[in-house]
């Protein structure tokens, strides 16, 4: 009986000890578990005033520097196409050959007529010389000499006309060989061998386009041009050293064309329908990467602006009214929303006209970790760094 009582006491004490042990284990915090009062890590950048290059993006189209439609200047049967479609041709290269036989016959006939006219001129000249000598000795009437002189001058005019006919026939024979009027890349052949060519036909033989260098045409509103001029007059925007306006192209796939261009001119006429002017930039195109008609975005460096604050685009938040805001970490470590007035977007940066001051710490990463007014742990990050990299610091 005593043994049974002692056994019950032993098992009761063992149960109490196990319960106390479990309670103590629950009371001890896990060293690896996150603390509920830990401040979330966020990436910030410290804003400062600096000198930035102001750029302007505008939609544009690529246009060839020169374009020429190859057309026949004489009529005849096409005997040969002498170029490779889509290839590069030099100025003066043979493109087509039209049957030259009728033009050679015309040339031979014109030369024969010239020879006959020259013979007539020779005869008229000899007669005029004879009548001149007779007139000096008063052996002939002046009227006879006048007739001989008129025949000579008529023969001279006839020779000049025959020479012009010979030259015309020579030119027509030359035109039977159709040559490239400019150097460039030629497109597809629109006429084949055996076709009848006409000097008045509407369909060209082919089209040649000069692609190096090449143009990019784009537009700018009059309001933007006036605002730019006003800012330059106030001194807020200064032209870059050298004075040349640098331009770049953003291709349709988002990549930047590797070669820079130069701004050529601004049109002097405003389109009354759009209130815009057309501008043209020229770009080198040695590899023919830019093709006429392609859509591009033209980026123009308008000038240098000093004392400018910029923030990364990813820092911009939008409120319900559409206004722009950024999270700024104050001295107490709280992330607070700050309304800002934005200016122009420059690549991955946005100009802030109002709302920020040098030294402000603007949140650019970790927005999902806090709400406005929460304490945060700000960590400086560089442009292009990820949030994971900031957390590892």
Task: Give pLDDT tens digits along the chain (393 positions).
Answer: 444 455 555 555 555 555 545 444 444 444 444 455 588 899 999 999 888 877 778 888 999 999 999 999 999 999 999 999 988 899 999 999 999 999 999 999 999 999 999 999 898 888 877 777 777 777 767 778 778 888 889 989 999 999 999 999 999 999 999 999 999 999 899 998 999 999 888 889 999 999 988 999 888 877 776 666 665 555 555 556 555 567 889 888 888 899 988 888 666 677 777 778 888 889 999 888 898 989 998 888 777 777 888 899 889 999 888 899 999 999 899 999 999 998 878 878 888 988 899 989 999 998 888 888 899 999 998 764 433 333 444
**Superfamily for the 55-64+211-305 domain:** Efflux pump adaptor protein, beta barrel domain (2.40.30.170)
CA angle at residue 102 from 171 to 190, to 5 degrees?
Answer: 75
3-class DSSP state for residue 223?
Answer: helix
* Alpha carbons 373 and 370: distance in angstroms, whole number: 8
Q: Enumerate the CATH 2.40.420.20 domain ranges in the chain, comma separated.
A: 41-53+308-392
Is the pTM higher than 0.85? The answer reads no
Residue 306 burial (CB count, 10 A): 12
Residues 6+ apart with CB under 8 A from 340: 316, 324, 325, 326, 352, 353, 354, 355, 356
* Alpha carbons 161 and 138: distance in angstroms, whole number: 35
Residues 6+ apart with CB under 8 A from 212: 65, 284, 285, 286, 288
Fold topology of 41-53+308-392: 2.40.420
Q: Tell me: domain 76-96+179-203, CATH 2.40.50.100, correct?
A: yes
The closest alpha carbon to 47, from 385, 380, 360, 384, belongs to 360
Q: Enumerate the CATH 2.40.30.170 domain ranges in the chain, comma separated.
A: 55-64+211-305
The β-bridge relationship of strands 295-312 and 317-318 is: unpaired
Q: Tell me: domain 100-175, CATH 2.160.10.10, correct?
A: no
Q: Enumerate the CATH 1.10.287.470 domain ranges in the chain, comma separated.
A: 100-175
């Amino acid at each position: 009986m005593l043994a049974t009582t002692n056994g019950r006491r032993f098992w009761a004490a063992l149960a109490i000890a196990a319960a106390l042990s479990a309670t103590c284990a629950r009371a001890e915090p896990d060293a690896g578990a996150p603390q509920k009062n830990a401040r979330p890590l966020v990436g910030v950048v410290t804003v400062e005033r600096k000198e930035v290059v102001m750029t302007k993006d505008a939609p544009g189209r690529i246009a060839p520097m020169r374009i020429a439609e190859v057309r026949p200047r004489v009529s005849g049967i096409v005997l040969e196409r002498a170029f490779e479609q889509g290839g590069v041709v030099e100025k003066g290269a043979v493109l087509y050959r039209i049957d030259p036989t009728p033009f050679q016959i015309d040339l031979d006939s014109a030369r024969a007529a010239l020879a006959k006219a020259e013979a007539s001129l020779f005869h008229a000249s000899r007669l005029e010389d004879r009548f001149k000598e007779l007139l000096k000795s008063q052996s002939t009437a002046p009227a006879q000499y006048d007739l001989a002189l008129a025949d000579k001058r008529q023969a001279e005019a006839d020779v000049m006309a025959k020479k012009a006919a010979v030259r015309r026939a020579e030119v027509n024979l030359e035109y039977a060989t159709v040559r490239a009027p400019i150097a460039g890349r030629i497109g597809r052949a629109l006429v084949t061998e055996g076709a009848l060519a006409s000097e008045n036909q509407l369909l060209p033989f082919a089209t040649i386009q000069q692609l190096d260098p090449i143009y990019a045409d784009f537009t700018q509103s009059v309001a933007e041009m006036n605002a730019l001029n006003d800012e330059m007059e106030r001194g807020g925007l200064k032209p870059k050293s050298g004075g040349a306006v640098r331009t770049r192209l953003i291709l349709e796939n988002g990549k930047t064309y590797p070669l820079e261009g130069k701004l050529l001119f601004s049109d002097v006429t405003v389109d009354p329908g759009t209130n815009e002017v057309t501008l043209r930039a020229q770009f080198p195109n040695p590899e023919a990467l830019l093709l006429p008609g392609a859509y591009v975005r033209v980026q123009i460096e308008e000038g240098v602006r000093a004392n400018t604050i910029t923030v990364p685009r990813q820092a911009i938040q939008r409120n319900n009214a559409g206004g722009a805001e950024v999270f700024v970490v104050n001295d107490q470590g709280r992330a607070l929303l700050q309304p800002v007035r934005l200016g122009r977007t420059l690549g991955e940066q946005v100009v802030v006209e109002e709302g920020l001051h040098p030294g402000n710490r603007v949140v650019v990463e970790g927005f999902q970790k806090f709400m406005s007014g929460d304490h945060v742990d700000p960590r400086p990050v560089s442009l292009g760094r990820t949030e994971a990299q900031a957390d590892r610091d």
